[in-house]
Amino acid sequence: MKRLTPQEIANFPHKNVIVRALGMKDTVKVDTRFEVPRANDVILLCSDGLSGPVSDEQILGIVDSSTDLRTAARRLVERANENGGPDNITCVLARWIA
């Protein structure tokens, strides 16, 4: 299978099509990843309504420059809307406190 470039991914017409979902079949392949958080790491869970219109660099900049996570989440949703907001926007931020 051909690997897509970041430009191809950004312009892929079917990038929002759900190809795996819980409840559709008896089994589902789940992608997992193990991370060891460090003090003050921030975890972002979001929908494609945020990650589509807002680049990774913009997300990082907003989270890093915000005084607290509630402000960061509000600013992320605002930025997604400013960038066209073509989809529902969901954003959850959590900070690891050691």
Domain limits for position 54: 6-95
In a domain, 61, yes or no: yes
Residue 47 sits at the vertex; the CA angle it makes with 36 and 78, to the nearest 5 degrees, is 105
Q: What is the CATH number of the domain that holds 10?
A: 3.60.40.10
- Separation of alpha carbons 76 and 44, rounded Å: 11
The pLDDT, as a whole number, for residue 75 is 97
- Separation of alpha carbons 83 and 32, rounded Å: 30
CB 87 within 8 A of CB 48: yes
* Predicted model pTM: 0.75
Average pLDDT in the 75-79 region? Answer: 97
- Separation of alpha carbons 55 and 46, rounded Å: 13
pLDDT digits (tens, 9 = 90+) for 4-57: 787 877 777 776 666 667 777 788 888 889 999 999 999 999 998 999 899 999
Considering only CA atoms, which of 31, 63, 40, 35 is closest in space to residue 50?
Answer: 63
Number of domains comprising the chain: 1
The pLDDT, as a whole number, for residue 19 is 66
In a domain, 1, yes or no: no
The pLDDT, as a whole number, for residue 64 is 96
